[in-house]
Structure 1
Amino acid sequence: MATQSPFSFLEELFQKLPVPTPPAWVIDETHRRVVLMLNHVLMQEPQAMERLVRQSGRVVLAQWRSFTFTLLVTPAGLLDLASADATPDLTLVLTEESPLALAQTLMAGTKPPVRIEGDVQLAAEVNWLADNVRWDVEEDLSRIIGDAPSHMLMQACRTVGGGLRDFLGRKAADATDTRPGTSA
C-alpha cells in the first residue's frame, strides 16, 4: 500500500483557499517592477534585444490561474506594459494549477506546461528568450557588495537551492511511487 505524501495536504489547501485579489494599484506597481527587471536582464543580452526589435509592437499575454500580465514589445527591443484594451498576438497560459507542482517544476530546472495560442514566430522568439537569457545575479550583486561577498552569497544560495531541489525531487518521486512496501 502506498503512503500519501505529507505535502498533499498543503497542495489540497492551496487548491481550496480562495485567492485574494490585491488592490489594482498593487497589481499595477508589481507589473511595472517586473517589466523593469525583465528590461534590466534583456539589456545585458544584445542578441535578445535584436530579436525583440523584429517583433516591435507585438503584444504578449501571460496568464496563470487568475493572474494576467500583458506586455508590449517596444521598438528598442525592450518590454513595456500593454494597454488594457490591447489585443494579444501571443497568449501563454501556464496550465499547471498547483503552486507546489509549479514550484517543483521550476526548481527541477524544467519548463512548466504552457498552452500557446497565437503568432508562431513571436512564440519562437519568446521560447528562445526563455532558453537563452539568464539574469546574472552575482554580477549585479557584486556592484553593490563587492566581488568576494557576492560570490560567497551566491555559492550559499546555490547550495541551499540544490538541497531544496533534491528534497522536492525526492518528495515528488516518493509521492508517485506506488509499489508495495514503499513509503513517502
Structure 2
Amino acid sequence: MVTPSSPFSFLDDLFNRVGSRMQPPDWAIREIQHRTVLFLNHVLQQEPEAQQRLMRQQGRVALFQWRFVTMKFVATPAGLLDLAPEGAEPELTLSVTEESPFGLARAAFSGEKPAVRIEGDVQLAAEVNWLVDHVRWDVEDDLARLIGDVPAHTIATGARRAVDALRRFVGERSGKAGGSAGAE
C-alpha cells in the first residue's frame, strides 16, 4: 500500500483523480476487454492442464473487479475464456482489495499475489486459484517466433536480470522501512 509519506503518494492521488473523472468510451472498454480475453486465451493454450480444468467449468461465470475495472468471464467448452453475456450472473466474484496501482506493482515485483476478496462458488474459486498459481506466459517463446531463438533468449535473460534486480531493490526498501542506517 502507498503510505502518505511515500514518494508515490502524489502519483497515486493523481491516478485516483484522473481515473475517476476520465472514463474511456464504451467501445474502447469493450475493445480492451476483447483484447484481454484474446491474450488470456493465448496464454491458456500453452497449458493443456489449464484448458482441461476450464472445460470442467464450462458455462460458469466469474466477475473480476479492481477499482473501476470490471470484467465478467465465462468458461467455454474449449477450455478457454470468453466475455460473459450482458446480464449474466457471476457465480464467483474476485475483487482486488489493493486500490493503489503502485501497491500492486510493488507486490508483483516482490513476487506476492495481491490481496483478493473472494465471494461465491468454492470449486470455481479453487480452479481460478490453480490457474493463477500454475499458468505463466512464456514470453521468450512468443518473442522467439518473431525474432529467433538466440535474440529472444538474450532479451529474456536481460529482462530476468532486470526484474531480479528490481525485486531485490524493492525487498531492500521494504526491509528498511522503519529501520535506520547503521553507523560506519
- For normalisation by structure 2, the TM-score amounts to 0.89
Contact kept in structure 2, 1:5 and 1:171, CA below 8 Å? no
**1:52 and 2:63 equivalent?**
no
Equivalent in the alignment of 2:174: 172
Q: Secondary structure at the match of 2:82?
A: strand
Q: Secondary structure at the match of 1:44?
A: coil
**1:106 and 2:108 equivalent?**
yes
**1:7 and 2:8 equivalent?**
yes
Q: Give a deviation string over 1:85-141, Cα, whole Å, max 9, x none.
A: 110010000000111111111111111000000110000000000001111110111
Partner AA of 2:15 in structure 1: F
Between the aligned partners of 1:171 and 1:14, the Cα distance in structure 2 is 23
Q: Secondary structure at the match of 1:85?
A: coil
Q: Secondary structure at the match of 2:63?
A: strand
Contact kept in structure 2, 1:104 and 1:169, CA below 8 Å? no
Between the aligned partners of 2:70 and 2:143, the Cα distance in structure 1 is 30
**1:115 and 2:144 equivalent?**
no
Q: CA deviation at 1:182?
A: 5.0
Q: Secondary structure at the match of 1:158?
A: helix
Partner AA of 1:166 in structure 2: R
Equivalent in the alignment of 2:72: 70
Write the mapping of 1:125-144 to structure 2, written as runs, cut at 5 A: 125-144=127-146
Higher relative contact order (CA 8 A, sep 6+): 1
Between the aligned partners of 2:92 and 2:104, the Cα distance in structure 1 is 22
- List runs of 5+ in structure 1 lacking aligned partners: none
Provide the identity percentage: 55
- List runs of 5+ in structure 2 lacking aligned partners: none
Between the aligned partners of 1:87 and 1:52, the Cα distance in structure 2 is 18
Give the count of matched residue pairs: 177
Q: Secondary structure at the match of 2:87?
A: coil
Equivalent in the alignment of 2:99: 97
Q: Secondary structure at the match of 1:75?
A: coil
Contact kept in structure 2, 1:39 and 1:79, CA below 8 Å? yes
Contact kept in structure 2, 1:35 and 1:79, CA below 8 Å? yes
Q: Give a deviation string over 1:22-73, Cα, whole Å, max 9, x none.
A: 1111111111111111111111111111111110000010000111011110
Q: CA deviation at 1:161?
A: 1.5
Contact kept in structure 2, 1:42 and 1:48, CA below 8 Å? yes
Q: Secondary structure at the match of 1:83?
A: coil
Q: CA deviation at 1:18?
A: 4.2
